[in-house]
Structure 1
Amino acid sequence: MIESLQQFDVALFLKIHRGMGNPFFDWLLPLMRNRYFWAPLYLFIIIFCFIEYKKKGAYIIGMLLVTFAMGDLIASRLIKPFVTRLRPCNEPGLADEIIHRVGCGSGYSFPSAHATNHFAIAVFLIFVFYDKWKPILPIALFWAFIISFSQIYVGVHYPIDTMVGALLGTTIGLITSKIYRKIQPQL
């Protein structure tokens, strides 16, 4: 069962990583996973929260930081060292198949911390802002999805790494949004 799941994961990885390869994705998708590319968005969220929500905005930003920290801690510090799955770009059996679009990194692959963190943040933001701004739902989910998909395309994660990261992040975002909603009436 585990072996057939891994074979499916590798086959799907190769369909995305090699099969979908094209110059536009080669340009776009490495940007989508780059934290510096998204820095203006993060800065906008911080400034918007402080200007629009004042004290409550500080709590939103605080909970966003808690959300990110939980995602990173659980994915990178707890699960990855326990599972120790090699990244596809470091897997000796895939050496001839990998297109080096970005640096591989030395860390482990399962689960994707990018997927975990961005789905956690997206779900948290959806729960905070959905009542006032409905378009946040598809925008935030697409944002988290494109970052996660990019991880597969550039060759640093298998699809199951990002799927599990997305589920983990969604769970974390739900938990932190519930915590935020409990403290919100006191703000």
Structure 2
Amino acid sequence: MRDWLNDLDTQLFIWLNGRYTPSLDPIMVWITERNSWLLFYVLLIGWLVYQYRRRALSLLITIAASVGIADQLSSSVLKPLTHRLRPCHVPALQKLIHPVLECGGQYGFVSSHAATTFGLATSLYLLLGRQHPWIRGVFLWAMAVSYSRIYVAAHYPLDVLAGAGVGVLSAVLCAMIYRKATKAACLERR
């Protein structure tokens, strides 16, 4: 079963990575680079502070915890535990893939980019999605960043899907803790 899944994942990666266009390369590099999104993060923080004033700090801590947990689970736990090579480090794939960037770290399961972006998107949705339906659009950003990791040959599709799952789970956990803490604080004030 494991070999079958790995083969399917490899074939899907080769197919997706093979759908490149040289004119799209710089766009995908920009999407995949973490620093490209600094302005987005600053604007998001500014909006949260402006919109929620006193509550902004607890929201920002919750979101940061979600992203931090997702990042640490993917980078410090799962990658060293699984030792799954990134596709760009697999010699048998070298002639079949379109790498756009330097390969990066040796191991790729799970994608930290997918984990952190889905952690952020899910946190925002769980905490504020009812009041601000536009927040669902942040998932499009998370999907674009995640897909860019396949495009630049850094991750297999399963790395990205598992990373997204790690991000969603970390956000659910942090949102649950936030709600319980908020509820307890409200009860204390009464």
**1:36 matched residue in structure 2:** 35
Is 1:183 the counterpart of 2:175 in the alignment? no
CA distance in 2, matches of 1:164, 1:25: 25
Find the residue that maps to 1:36 and give its secondary structure: helix
Contact 2:89 2:106 in 1 (8 A): no
Is 1:90 the counterpart of 2:89 in the alignment? yes
**2:6 matched residue in structure 1:** 6
Contact 2:125 2:135 in 1 (8 A): yes
CA distance in 2, matches of 1:122, 1:49: 14
CA distance in 2, matches of 1:71, 1:89: 23
Is 1:105 the counterpart of 2:112 in the alignment? no
Q: Identity rate of aligned residues, in percent?
A: 29
1:46-99 superposed Cα distances (whole Å, 9 cap, x missing partner)? 111122212210111111111111011111101110100010001111111232
Please report the TM-score for the alignment, with normalisation by the length of structure 1: 0.94
**2:75 matched residue in structure 1:** 76
CA RMSD across the alignment: 1.3
CA distance in 2, matches of 1:184, 1:140: 24
Unaligned runs of 5+ in 1: none
Find the residue that maps to 1:135 and give its secondary structure: helix
Aligned AA (1:140): V
CA distance in 2, matches of 1:74, 1:106: 16
1:158 corresponds to which of 156, 159, 168: 156
Contact 2:25 2:100 in 1 (8 A): yes
Query: Once the 2 structures are TM-superposed, how far is the Cα of residue 178 of structure 1 from its aligned partner?
Result: 1.4
CA distance in 2, matches of 1:52, 1:4: 49
Please report the TM-score for the alignment, with normalisation by the length of structure 2: 0.92
CA distance in 1, matches of 2:43, 2:12: 36
Find the residue that maps to 1:142 and give its secondary structure: helix
Aligned AA (2:30): L
**1:170 matched residue in structure 2:** 168
CA distance in 1, matches of 2:79, 2:25: 27
Structure 1 stretch 151-160 or stretch 176-185: which is displaced more?
Answer: 176-185
Query: Once the 2 structures are TM-superposed, how far is the Cα of residue 126 of structure 1 from its aligned partner?
Result: 0.5
When the two structures are aligned, how many residues end up with a matched partner?
A: 185
**1:54 matched residue in structure 2:** 53
CA distance in 1, matches of 2:79, 2:128: 32
Query: Once the 2 structures are TM-superposed, how far is the Cα of residue 25 of structure 1 from its aligned partner?
Result: 2.6
CA distance in 1, matches of 2:23, 2:121: 25
Unaligned runs of 5+ in 2: none
Query: Once the 2 structures are TM-superposed, how far is the Cα of residue 143 of structure 1 from its aligned partner?
Result: 1.1
